[in-house]
Amino acid sequence: MTMFNKIKAEEGAVVNKNPSKRRARDLQSNIDWMVEQDATEHKERLRTLMEVTAFLENSFGANPKAYDRNYTNSHWSIDEPFMNDLLTKMDPEYDKVYYDYLDKYDKINRDRSNLRELLESNDDKAGVLSARIKYAVSPDPLPDNNDLDAVVDYWYKNYNSNKDFTEKDIDKKRVELKKWWSSRGQETSDSPEQKEFKRIKTKENSGYYYNVGDQAPLKFID
């Protein structure tokens, strides 16, 4: 085994032993898969929107409580009203949008009869496609991927179903998102020592992330 392959194997072993990292990897992989197949000309806008949605709904895999919920469908938080829409709206107005996406995944029955089961089992492809459909039925254009505040506002208007949210709650989401987004950008430029610090200081299954040089954890919002 070459040194490169050995390093990749070791990295893979670390990811597989760390559920939150594995979930994050799977989320990113399936978001990328969906974006590449999407017909939109604004692929980076769509990618950012889906990444932000995953963070806001499940802390991008870091929140284990977002998985196996019994009050929403999947870690993408597909609420019951929209779940019913997915299962029961069979008229042409919705069929084209729904089938355009759901047909991309051969595990979903043509009549959608097994969609709830797939979502309840946290099937990543079924989840990301259902989340995309919720945005696809909106007449609003995709938000600017360089304006995270606009992306959060778009998520709140078109995706979030918690109407009890106050402006203070939304502002808190914006702050947490920007901290997480900034930490993602640092990952490619961190030194080996910084990466090791982060690896050691990340508490498994806690939803906490430690910034380099900071003793206080940043808690991801549920």
Query: Cβ distance 20 to 199 under 8 Å?
Result: no
* Nearest Cα residue to 127 out of 66, 204, 208: 66
Helix axes 124-136, 92-102, angle to 10 degrees: 140
Q: 131 or 221: whose pLDDT is higher? A: 131
User: What pLDDT digit, counting tens, does each position of 77-88 carry?
Assistant: 999 999 999 998
Task: State which of 17-26, 179-188, 201-210 shows the largest mean pLDDT.
Answer: 17-26
pLDDT at res. 39: 94
| Residue 24: HSE in the Cβ half-sphere, 13 Å Cα cutoff | 17
Q: Give the percent of the chain with pLDDT over 90.
A: 61
pLDDT band at 201 (very low <50, low <70, confident <90, very high): very low
pTM (two decimals): 0.77
Reported confidence tier of residue 15, pLDDT bands at 50, 70, 90? very low
41-71: pLDDT as tens digits: 999 999 999 999 999 999 999 999 999 888 8
User: Which pLDDT belongs to residue 16?
Assistant: 52
